[in-house]
Chain A
Amino acid sequence: MQEQPENWEPRIIAFLCSWCSYAGADLAGVSRCQYPPNIRVIKLPCSGRANPFYIIKSLQQGCDGVLISGCHPGECHYSSGNYYARRRFAIMKRLLEYIGVEEGRVHFSWVSASEGEKFAKVVSEVTEAVRKLGPARRLVKNEFESGATI
């Protein structure tokens, strides 16, 4: 368990597909579901648009956790975007954990437009998982601390 600075709150970036997950998040809002305010949402047209490299770049730039959420398989607004995404994420998640990014930093979910409660539940789970791990340090790029490489 990493030491946690005082008053540290996890910063989690959430890539949500606009047709299902983003709408689900919206529903959570209007339904006044309570969930931790730690996510920053980026809306994508489809989970298939999420380049797996977004995960790496997020971790490099200091995000403590990453969530990517899309439509349930079979319900993709673009028919098959989430099917491709599913394969990509399966490989990338395993690869990142293999190289040593802690399990629990990167999460994926299927949340439909009607699943406001599920969205709130997913975000709570993800936030708690990331909070347990502490601030992300492993892939973080510290370019302004590094200088010449001698």
Chain B
Amino acid sequence: MDLQAQVRQAARKLLDDKQVDVVIGYEAADEPLRTTPCFIRDSQEVDRLVWNPFCEHNLAGYLQGRQDKAAVVAKGCDSRAIVVLINESQVQRDNITVIGVPCGGIVERKKIYRHLQGADIREAVLEGDVITVKGPGFSAELKVEDFLAECCKFCSHRNPVLFDIKIGEDVPEVDSKEQYHEVARLEGSSSEERWEFFKKELSKCVRCYACREACPLCYCKQCFTDQSLPAWVGKTDDISDTMAFHIMRAYHTTGRCVDCGNCERACPNDVQIRLLTKKIEKDVKELFGSEAGLEIGEKTSMMVYKENDPQDFIK
């Protein structure tokens, strides 16, 4: 039985046995190359559930604050986000059932559109690891592995770290040694060059806060951006405020971010905000030797300290 069928079977059983009120998963979207989150409450409808390389969203965000018992389809990164949510008391372990699926990587739609120079794709059919896209006057066959999202290419945890039901067998992990190559490239350039780059990149931001809402770990009832006493950051798209917003938001993910890529994917203006969160992730690993979302009960790196923490930067 393929993975998709296994997901459906697991969901059917959970709903029939009334173990959960809702199964949160992915279903086909009207648009090609996309899936969309779905909430299945009737076991007769489990065939809506799909599992394929277009299942991009981190569904962990839908678990926060729920009152009912929910099952959720979780890839590696999603399961790590769930661990962080449990450790931060935002989700009760007993109220959720994690359907863990091994993930070979998610297709980044924009890479396909870029490759086809913005062509009007009207249809996409996936067979095995080949996507056939069609549009007015064109057709192309593309290999899934050529269009994986950046965060997936060097993924450090393809297999779910937390699950109640495991779908399929583990997939081999990839060599994630190069996962900080974009950050390292920037670190190797001059301060001036970095400033010009980030200023230009972040000036594309229109302060829609899609990144914040898409992140499963941004769940504050009142975000710092909405505070006026004190006003941490202004609401206009003034470049100084915009850069401050992104520095501050990235900083809030310190020791918590699992690099699921939801934030960058949600951005309508292609702002490369993962360059900030990835830098913090690299530093946390280097300075404190920790990675987010791997163990229930583990405190995040900003909540703990060691007496011999690095302090060579302190006079």
CB within 8 Å of B: which residues of A?
Answer: 52-53, 56-57, 60, 73-74, 80, 83-84, 86-103, 107-110, 122, 125, 138-143, 146, 149
User: Roughly how many angstroms separate A83 CA and B310 CA in the complex, as a whole number?
Assistant: 10
A108: B residues at CB distance < 8 A = 313-315
CB proximity to A under 8 Å, residues B144-159: none
Q: State which of B194, B198, B199, B315 has its C-beta within 8 Å of the C-beta of A107.
A: B315
Digitize B181-195: 1 where CB-to-A-CB distance is under 8 Å, 0 elsewhere.
001001100011011
Known contacts A74-B307, A84-B305, A122-B315; A94 and B279 CB within 8 A of each other: yes
Known contacts A80-B305, A110-B315, A141-B241; A95 and B194 CB within 8 A of each other: no
A73: B residues at CB distance < 8 A = 307, 311
Top 6 A-B pairs, shortest CB-CB distance: A100-B195, A83-B305, A141-B240, A109-B315, A100-B194, A108-B314
Interface assignment of B302: CB less than 8 Å from any CB of chain A:
yes
Nearest residue, chain B, Cβ from A138: B195
A97: B residues at CB distance < 8 A = 191
User: Roughly how many angstroms separate A101 CA and B315 CA in the complex, as a whole number?
Assistant: 19
Q: State which of A84, A91, A139, A143 has its C-beta within 8 Å of the C-beta of B244.
A: A139
What's the minimum C-beta distance from B269 to chain A, rounded to whole angstroms?
Answer: 14
User: Roughly how many angstroms separate A15 CA and B241 CA in the complex, as a whole number?
Assistant: 22
What's the minimum C-beta distance from B132 to chain A, rounded to whole angstroms?
Answer: 41
A103: B residues at CB distance < 8 A = 191
Q: State which of B196, B240, B279, B302 has its C-beta within 8 Å of the C-beta of A98.
A: B279
Interface assignment of B254: CB less than 8 Å from any CB of chain A:
yes
Q: State which of B187, B198, B251, B315 has its C-beta within 8 Å of the C-beta of A91.
A: B251
Interface assignment of B247: CB less than 8 Å from any CB of chain A:
yes
Stretch of B87-95, B209-217, B283-291 contacting A (4+ beta carbons < 8 Å): B283-291
B307 touches A100 (CB 8 A): no
Interface assignment of B141: CB less than 8 Å from any CB of chain A:
no
A98: B residues at CB distance < 8 A = 183, 186-187, 194, 276, 279
Known contacts A90-B287, A91-B254, A94-B279; A99 and B302 CB within 8 A of each other: no
B191 touches A100 (CB 8 A): yes
User: Roughly how many angstroms separate A68 CA and B315 CA in the complex, as a whole number?
Assistant: 10
Q: Please report the total number of B residues contacting A with Cβ < 8 Å.
A: 43
User: Roughly how many angstroms separate A121 CA and B180 CA in the complex, as a whole number?
Assistant: 38
Digitize B283-311: 1 where CB-to-A-CB distance is under 8 Å, 0 elsewhere.
11001100000000000011001010111
Most A CB atoms within 10 A — which of B199, B224, B244?
Answer: B244
A53 touches B191 (CB 8 A): no
A139 touches B240 (CB 8 A): yes
Interface assignment of B232: CB less than 8 Å from any CB of chain A:
yes
Nearest residue, chain B, Cβ from A73: B307
A95 touches B276 (CB 8 A): yes
What's the minimum C-beta distance from A52 to chain B, rounded to whole angstroms?
Answer: 6
Q: State which of B199, B237, B247 has its C-beta within 8 Å of the C-beta of A95.
A: B247
Known contacts A95-B251, A102-B191, A108-B315; A90 and B310 CB within 8 A of each other: yes
A92 touches B240 (CB 8 A): no
User: Roughly how many angstroms separate A91 CA and B302 CA in the complex, as a whole number?
Assistant: 10
Known contacts A90-B283, A95-B279; A141 and B232 CB within 8 A of each other: no
B305 touches A60 (CB 8 A): no
A95: B residues at CB distance < 8 A = 247, 250-251, 276, 279-280, 283
Nearest residue, chain A, Cβ from B232: A53
User: Roughly how many angstroms separate A88 CA and B302 CA in the complex, as a whole number?
Assistant: 7
B305: A residues at CB distance < 8 A = 80, 83-84, 86-87
Excluding A87-B288, A95-B280, 17 further A-B contacts by CB distance (< 8 Å) are A53-B224, A53-B232, A53-B248, A60-B240, A90-B309, A90-B311, A91-B254, A91-B280, A94-B279, A94-B283, A98-B186, A99-B247, A100-B194, A100-B197, A141-B240, A142-B238, A146-B238
B195 touches A99 (CB 8 A): yes
A125: B residues at CB distance < 8 A = 315
Interface assignment of B32: CB less than 8 Å from any CB of chain A:
no
Q: State which of B237, B279, B313, B315 has its C-beta within 8 Å of the C-beta of A93.
A: B313
User: Roughly how many angstroms separate A125 CA and B287 CA in the complex, as a whole number?
Assistant: 25
A142: B residues at CB distance < 8 A = 238, 240
Nearest residue, chain A, Cβ from B183: A98
A140 touches B313 (CB 8 A): no
